[in-house]
Structure 1
């Protein structure tokens, strides 16, 4: 199988795109560490993998908005494995709202903490396990909201701010880790739907985003795909 034996971490895998990512890696033979803010949601994804996948899974609670939770997950994982081959930084809550007043202070703090602080801290704490792999990849599900000049999303300005910060982190990480053979792959999808017709003119689907991730991770080690950008239906 394409990813047989790979050890993969997927954050925010309790539902939607994160769950689709975890299932897709497991279907191809990987062992997936499934994380979610809600441990029960992570457990449900792991159960789905255990019932039908070629790979295996283990569920963990990890709240990216809380540094102690991030550190606790990283320590628990280090107790269970000597390496990670793929880290997928997917967990970051979407925040809608055109105006600054359309979200509470708490929602704004959570949005920035989850996408930025959580991503940076988790990558930092898992880097030793990635360095122990002979084929390490870090995948960041950023967003078109992190692109310069992007204005097509209905996301809250705090979400735009968080994704620009995440993009900056991904860019410098790619440049600085390449010499070690660690690929940093970032995706900048526009607002997309979980399900729908995968035809020209239709909104981008989660499955298509996931297949971009699988394609990039599956490339030979001389191939460093740094970013995926997408054409958009909405002008």
Structure 2
């Protein structure tokens, strides 16, 4: 899709899927703002976006578990643009271990704060910029762990809690922002295979009903949704699992 003239913000863009989102947005013509807990990682991705597509990309350090850091991120973006067209809430800490005792209290607190509170505060502080767009989208990378009675993941219960809270927030946000024309789109993917979008073979990897879900397929869903006409409100994507 063509995002020329649009501004796209991606959280958790220092590596993996967040990095892929940033690169694809740049290739689509957008001005890209990326954040990561590590400012150096965010800056590396911003340089990659610019080198890959020539798109303008700015980087910010942002710890989603720290309210002051989230506010500073939004203020930093506001210093470069007067609106945001797409906000992609990708950043969140993953925590392994099915037993409560598999993680200490600080890790549990950080997981819930980054995935749940971090998403809420990011939307809150970017909302003035989203409202200034003629048609804004908020995209939330949730997880199948947030689906009722989906117990397939071996993630820690704190990750389940964070994603359930994120999903509840996204649901009410969609209803409350729709009158303003702001779409809230949530994706609930199971674990999916990662890849490097700079690798020419990655985009064309085998994607059939018998293959695991790929990062490219999830990325395609994101950009399909934001590319729809403004009267089309796709609230969520849920994925059948093998």
TM-score for both structures, normalised by structure 1: 0.97
Secondary structure class of the residue paired with 1:55: coil
Query: 1:225 corresponds to which residue?
Result: 234
Q: Give the deviation of 1:54 after TM superposition.
A: 4.5
Identify the residue that residue 206 of structure 1 maps to in structure 2. 215
Q: Measure how far apart 1:197 and its partner are.
A: 3.8
RMSD: 1.0
Matches within 5 A, 1:174-213: 174-195=174-195, 197-213=206-222
SS in 1 for 2:87: strand
1:39 & 1:92 partners in 2: Cα distance?
Answer: 16
Whether the aligned pair in 1 keeps the contact of 2:111 and 2:162 (CA below 8 Å) is yes
Q: Is the 8 A contact 1:138 1:183 kept in 2?
A: yes
Map Cα deviations across residues 133-160 of structure 1 (whole Å, 9 max, x no partner): 0010000000001111111111111100
Deviation of 1:19 (Å): 0.3
Describe the SS at the equivalent of 1:88: strand
Query: In the TM superposition, what is the alpha-carbon distance from 1:199 to its structure 2 partner?
Result: 2.6
Aligned mates of 1:54, 1:173 — CA distance in 2: 34
CA–CA distance in 2 between the matches of 1:54 and 1:179?
36
1:5 equivalent in structure 2: 5
Q: Are positions 1:49 and 2:49 aligned together?
A: yes
Report the CA distance between 1:34 and its aligned residue.
0.6
Q: Deviations over 1:96-128 (max 9, x none)?
A: 111111111111111000011111011001000
Show the counterpart of 2:75: 75
Alpha-carbon distance, 1:201 to partner? 2.0
Q: State the alpha-carbon separation in 2 of the partners of residues 54 and 216 from structure 1.
A: 24
What is the alpha-carbon distance in structure 2 between the residues aligned to residue 203 and residue 102 of structure 1? 27
Asked whether the equivalents of residues 4 and 55 of structure 1 are also in contact (C-alpha less than 8 Å), the reply is no
Which residue is equivalent to 2:202? Answer: none
- State the number of aligned residues: 233
TM-score normalised to the size of structure 2? 0.94
